[in-house]
Structure 1
Amino acid sequence: MNCEHIIQQAANWLTRLHDEDVSDAERQAFRAWCDADPRHAVAIERMRGLWGSLDTLPAKPARRALNRAFAPQHRRGAQAVGLLGVVLCAWLGLQHLPVWMADQRTGVGERRQIALDDGSQLQLNSNSAVDVKFDGHQRVIELLQGELWVDVAKDAQRPFVVRTDQGTATALGTRYLVKRAADGTTVVTVIESTVAVQGDSRDSVKVMAGQRSVLDHGHAQPAQASGNADADAWTRGLLKVNDQPLGDVLQTLASYRHGMLRFDPEALRNLRVSGVFKLDDTAAALAALADNLPIQVEYFTDLLVVVKPR
């Protein structure tokens, strides 16, 4: 069953459970539905969380529509169920449902290390999501969003593959990084040994330690030096940069912050950065940048920060 169908079923159940005349038999059927598949309970939990988070939003059209769907004076028929499902799908965006239902995910500013069943170690960067699909023939990690680091346990019978919408990165050794970049490309950086990177167009390149390859429009670009000897420093909570554009550094810090970090890349294009920053304290990192570069950092609220030339 795909996640869109699960979301619709969850919407149907929540709508019915809010009806005044819901029966004990229906409540029992709901509990059986939740027990039938772990994804069902996850969908209910996250949908309830979404409903709770909407309490803090202004009365925009989506909020008003949801209020109408749940309002006690309305009968919970097919019309209300359909309205709830449509509003939820429109509000979340169908393209975000796989991330919402992912096997493992992290929030903004969160990192998580995961021990996989085969002995491999996986770590998710900030705001990342994966599905884990292991069987008797292969081990597949689907990177739905963000970035991961993996240290692969050897298994001669089952290849270890990280997949995105651009292609695959198959381990021929141990440690590597895979990132879904903001521009839609997939970046594969090898820390140790070798990885076979293959685009959906079936072209393939081997990437050695200290190299990276970019998957773009389904094509694997030739391997080149990664330019960062400590590309996996984020797994230790650090951002290490050596003569990097300030805009790239700010973009990384923004991915660890709630709210918006705004800047004009063109206005800052001549500024470059070297240093080590703690990803768990982006305010300190921004302060250090302001102390050492001709920029100013303005906090309008905790959720809106603007960086501009001094």
Structure 2
Amino acid sequence: MTNVYQLPRKDDVQAAAATWVAAIDRGLTVSEERQLQCWLAASSAHSVAMQEMTEHWEGLDVLERLAKLFPEASNSSAAASNPFSDWLTAGLSVAAIALFMVVTVAFWQTSLVPVYSGNIEKMATGVGQRTTYRLSDGSQLTLNTDTNIEINFTKYYRDIYLDKGELHIQVAKDRERPLRVFSNDKLVQAVGTAFNVELLRSGDVELVVTEGIVNTSRIEKKAGRVMSAASKVIESPILSQVKPGKRVVLSNDEPEVHALDARDVQSVLSWQRGELVFRGERLDDALREVERYTNQELILKDQSLAEVKIAGLFRTGDVKGLLASLEKNFSIKSRLIDSNKFELYKNN
């Protein structure tokens, strides 16, 4: 029979050391002191991890506070059996190392959480704006018009809250820290993929996956903000696993899944090029899409025009170009009835 031993990962060792620092800071019990001594003696990796961190710090000048924790450290016999014996010979004590970790816990947390250090970062675009960000984890995030998000990257997760609008993200791979997008009470989670998420006017969430596999879930809401404990796995069943070339509308019912061909995907992502591509959409739906990029309102005088199917490529925000095309191809005229409001009607 072969025994397989799981070696501790470096991150786990460092996380355990940080936990001990917090305990030392508030004061160890007798039982905890024994447990700490056992942990230090259990593996040379534990002492090596602490030694590596001391290289980031100079001027340890206050040692008395913790020196009493390990009085035996000064005995030669103890030093001979203690994994820190080499350090003690160099004049460093376990207490000194522990003090270093207490003082530098903020630095250590920053090194484990390279993006925003657990602080929430807000980003937004105005009407008609489009912005691309290179996040600190290497992901590329693009925000569409009139979009509000919050970002909170932690040690365990990379979280984005989409409160309004639309985003596309090319996710940098990090299997230890999944990236999650929350919108309304919907959750989209991935490791290293590319996908587009839009919060629709109805409150539903539209997901289009262009690379990799993305899981979707429904989660609990509280006081208008999703509950997303960054250090915990959300215990929500997976609604769907979405593959490339799929469009999913997440509502309060079962997810609606639609297959997209390559041209459909390009149409969905055309906003990244500053374009709107219509391929037989209803006129009323097309007008609502155009309105997202401008402060102008487009009203149908005759609701029968809503069923007209249109196709073509338009620049985002180019209302005049759209109106000219409608008049030329469908005999649908327009007139300005307010400073920012057009009425569309059939030219009989």
Tell me the TM-score normalized by structure 2. 0.56
Give the equivalent residue in structure 2 for 1:224. Answer: 258
- SS of the equivalent of 2:343 reads strand
* Structure 1 Cα separation of the partners of residues 320 and 168 of structure 2: 25
* Structure 1 Cα separation of the partners of residues 317 and 303 of structure 2: 27
Using a 3 Å threshold, how does the CA distance of structure 1 residues 220 and 236 change in structure 2: closer, same or farther?
farther
- Which of 253, 257, 269 pairs up with 2:306? 269
The amino acid that maps onto 1:180 is L
Residue ranges of structure 1 left out of the alignment (5+ in a row) = 1-100
Using a 3 Å threshold, how does the CA distance of structure 1 residues 266 and 172 change in structure 2: closer, same or farther?
farther
List per-residue Cα deviations over 1:235-281 (Å, max 9, x = no partner): 11011121111111111111111142222683223311111111042
The amino acid that maps onto 1:166 is D
Residue ranges of structure 2 left out of the alignment (5+ in a row) = 1-119, 220-235
Kept in 1: contact 2:208–2:246 (CA 8 A): yes
Kept in 2: contact 1:166–1:215 (CA 8 A): no
- Which of 152, 157, 165 pairs up with 1:138? 157
Alignment of 1:39-54 (within 5 A): none
* Structure 2 Cα separation of the partners of residues 308 and 256 of structure 1: 22
- SS of the equivalent of 1:299 reads strand
1:177 paired to 2:214? no
Shift of 1:286: 2.4
Shift of 1:149: 0.8
* Structure 2 Cα separation of the partners of residues 288 and 147 of structure 1: 27
- SS of the equivalent of 2:279 reads strand
Give the equivalent residue in structure 1 for 2:67. Answer: none
* Structure 1 Cα separation of the partners of residues 159 and 121 of structure 2: 14
* Structure 1 Cα separation of the partners of residues 186 and 173 of structure 2: 22
Shift of 1:308: 2.5
1:214 paired to 2:254? no
Alignment of 1:1-310 (within 5 A): 103-200=122-219, 202-217=237-252, 219=253, 221-226=255-260, 228-230=264-266, 231-263=268-300, 266-310=303-347
Shift of 1:138: 0.5
Kept in 2: contact 1:113–1:124 (CA 8 A): yes
Kept in 2: contact 1:190–1:210 (CA 8 A): yes
The amino acid that maps onto 1:289 is L
Kept in 1: contact 2:124–2:146 (CA 8 A): yes
* Structure 1 Cα separation of the partners of residues 254 and 131 of structure 2: 28
Using a 3 Å threshold, how does the CA distance of structure 1 residues 296 and 236 change in structure 2: closer, same or farther?
same
* Structure 2 Cα separation of the partners of residues 212 and 237 of structure 1: 21
List per-residue Cα deviations over 1:54-106 (Å, max 9, x = no partner): xxxxxxxxxxxxxxxxxxxxxxxxxxxxxxxxxxxxxxxxxxxxxxx971111
* Structure 1 Cα separation of the partners of residues 287 and 201 of structure 2: 14
* Structure 2 Cα separation of the partners of residues 112 and 174 of structure 1: 20
Using a 3 Å threshold, how does the CA distance of structure 1 residues 177 and 274 change in structure 2: closer, same or farther?
same
Shift of 1:291: 1.5
Q: What is the percent sequence identity of the aligned residues?
A: 29
* Structure 2 Cα separation of the partners of residues 265 and 158 of structure 1: 52
Using a 3 Å threshold, how does the CA distance of structure 1 residues 222 and 301 change in structure 2: closer, same or farther?
closer
Paired residues, number: 209
Using a 3 Å threshold, how does the CA distance of structure 1 residues 236 and 265 change in structure 2: closer, same or farther?
farther
Kept in 2: contact 1:113–1:121 (CA 8 A): yes
List per-residue Cα deviations over 1:188-207 (Å, max 9, x = no partner): 11122221111227342011
Larger-Rg structure? 2
* Structure 2 Cα separation of the partners of residues 307 and 250 of structure 1: 10
Runs of 4+, deviation exceeding 3 Å: none
Kept in 2: contact 1:197–1:205 (CA 8 A): yes
Shift of 1:285: 2.3
Kept in 2: contact 1:294–1:309 (CA 8 A): yes
The farther-off stretch of 193-202 and 160-169 is 193-202
The amino acid that maps onto 2:342 is V
